[in-house]
Chains A and B, each alone.
Chain A
């Protein structure tokens, strides 16, 4: 398991390769990248310590629900420009069903449980992004 909170960009191909290269049991990889959308720029704030702990707990929860072989979560913080990658989730499993489901689960929980906050810069000025009810609904459907 690899959990990183960093300001630097990440390399999707390198991160995915690192998950399967040394493990012949991996038969499926699912990855997701979230991007800065519809804003001139974003600044991401986090809670050092708690954020990493929350991400570890989310990946741990995913590992108890599905038979995962490995996972990587990298979330960027600080200033980010339009179309820059914000977050990477990559999951390795034996079969695609587990990889797809776990990747979506990790993102849904990350969006509602991990302490990150977005401040958006638009033509009208700077403002903190409000939490979306749709994100909370997306996370609660996994409770069933």
Chain B
């Protein structure tokens, strides 16, 4: 399945991109994160869980067991700091 990934703030800068299209075998947010960690540095470190991050699927907050579907927009970003 094809996913539209988006990155924000510190993670956008660290990954050197604001987004990308990724082909993934059907799975969950946890499966996507595992695939991204396998890219190595800096993905492995940023998404290891040592530094906090959040995932949204189709602009709603998601959890590791959220099931992904073809065409989903998946955003990965640091904890929010607005206001």
Contacts and interface: CB of A to CB of B under 8 A. Distances in A.
Interface of A: 34, 44-47, 49-50, 53, 75, 86-87, 107, 110-119, 128-132, 135
A87 B82 contact: yes
A117 B6 contact: no
B81 A129 contact: yes
A119 B56 CA distance: 21
Q: Chain B: interface residue count, which band? A: 10 to 19
Contact of B80 (A49, A53, A115, A119): A115
Given A49-B59, A117-B77, A128 B82 contact: no
Contacts of A53: 59
B79 interface: yes
A57 B63 CA distance: 19
A116 B75 contact: no
A50 B81 contact: no
A107 B83 contact: yes
A113 B81 CA distance: 9
Given A47-B59, A114-B82, 9 more contacts: A34-B83, A50-B60, A75-B82, A115-B56, A115-B75, A117-B78, A129-B81, A130-B81, A131-B78
A34 B82 CA distance: 10
A115 B83 contact: no
A142 B48 CA distance: 31
Contacts of B80: 111-117, 131
Nearest to A112: B80
A115 B8 contact: yes
Contacts of B82: 44, 46, 75, 86-87, 110-111, 114-118
